Amino acid sequence: MPKTLALYLHEMETVHHVDPRLTGLINHLAETCKEISFKVSQGALAGVLGSAGSENVQGETQKKLDIISNEIMCRACTESGFVSAVASEEMDHALQVPENCEVGPYLVLFDPLDGSSNIDINVSIGTIFSVLPAGEPHRGVEDAEFLQSGRHQLAAGYVIYGPQTQLVMTLGFGVMVFTLDLSTGNFYQTAENVTISESTKEFAINCSNMRHWEAPVQRYIMELLAGTTGVRGKDFNMRWVAAMVAEVHRILSRGGIFMYPRDNRDPNKPGKLRLMYEANPMSWLIEQAHGRATNGYQNILDIEPTALHQRVAVFLGAKEEVDLVTSYHG
Ligand code: AFP
């Protein structure tokens, strides 16, 4: 039988001296995502599909499962005893730990349900998380305390709710994959030290936005589309799932490059994806798997955040391709 998540986390404590409160938090997140996974699998039977009729801080329409997942994550994290506060893509500001619960030394950020447009059509979605240091456990955490670059992350990962429910995570010692066994309720390790090939023939981008992209991205994509008849001299395949979790999972599984560039529709929105909830945790996973992640100009993990809900352009995956499209930005 493969290794359980619990055993892997115990090894991290003994071999790499990872703080037991951090491994405790990861275990807690995994248990919490099992609950979300169950709700997702129930779908219409649990009445969790469809729109909630509200908007989040980004002005996006919320689905019922966005709200349900957010409530599950918020409650589980703030009552865990491991965190000083949490921040979510679905909430305006940081959420504090209730007075009757203990505080811990970590800050957790999450996108409780990434890929909301896939919920009602039964296509892969996921929960993304990022763990930052809080210093001494304390209350009254300000939003500003979350504004740490991705290099400060102590743990990052996601749980994908697809044909299988899988936890993919890093504590800075490689990327590990755990698959939920529904018969035992345990996560078992099914891949370790995942690496991404430097080259690829597969890309992911929402081409419907092509006319809005900046010149470097237009050039790069046109070259890919030209295939064997163009400067690249090889044909490329394309995929688009509309859930970053699923795109990153495919890239970790068989390689590729994923892009969500900035475009000229709204100068106040440099890209669609959120730095703190999506780009940072995914970029750390990709770097741990020997890939690369940039915003076209610099490594995403080096970006100093200025706002909790900051957006960012994202190019991540196979090193050769990310380097090339980044070089086109000049
Ligand atoms: P939602 O979670 O709001 O559906 O957004 C998902 C996402 O942030 C990311 O996971 C996808 O890669 C991207 O948006 C899809 O965007 P488009 O709908 O513009 O293709």
- Taking only the tens place, the pLDDT of each residue in 86-107 is 999 999 999 999 999 999 999 9
| Atom number in ligand 1 closest to CA 111 | 2
Give the CB-side neighbour count of residue 78, counting CA atoms within 13 A: 20
Burial environment of residue 290 by CB neighbours within 10 A (0 to 12, 13 to 18, 19 or more)? middle
The pLDDT value given to residue 269: 81
- How far apart are the CA of 241 and the centre of ligand 1, in A? 9
Residue 267 has pLDDT above 90, yes or no: no
Residue 61 confidence (pLDDT): 79
Ligand 1: which of 54, 64, 206 to mutate, judged by most atoms within 8 Å of the beta carbon? 206
| CA 177 – ligand 1 centroid, Å | 23
Distance (angstroms) between ligand 1 centre and the Cα of 104 equals 32
Does the pLDDT of residue 58 top 80, yes or no?
A: no
State how far the alpha carbon of 275 is from the alpha carbons of 18, 142, 296, 312, in Å. 25, 18, 14, 6
Q: Considering just the CA atoms, what is the radius of gyration of the chain in Å? A: 19
Q: Which helix (H) or strand (E) holds 314?
A: strand 314-317
Model-level pTM?
Answer: 0.97
Q: Distance between the two ends of the chain, CA-based, in angstroms?
A: 50
Distance (angstroms) between ligand 1 centre and the Cα of 272 equals 8
pLDDT band at 135 (very low <50, low <70, confident <90, very high): very high
pLDDT for 96 equals 98
What's the 114 CA to ligand 1 centre distance in angstroms? 7
Residues paired with residue 177 on neighbouring β-strands, in sequence order: 168, 191
- State mean pLDDT over 224-235: 98
Query: 268 or 166: which carries more pLDDT confidence?
Result: 166
Q: What is the pLDDT of residue 1?
A: 80
C-beta 206 within 6 A of ligand 1: yes
Residue 59 has pLDDT above 90, yes or no: no
Atom of ligand 1 nearest to the CA of 242: 15
- Is residue 273 within 6 Å of ligand 1 at its C-beta? yes
Q: By mean pLDDT, which of 43-47, 79-83, 273-277 is the weakest?
A: 43-47
The residue nearest atom 15 of ligand 1, judged by CA position, is 242
Q: CA–CA separation, 289 vs 283, rounded Å?
A: 10
User: Does pLDDT of 230 surpass 80?
Assistant: yes
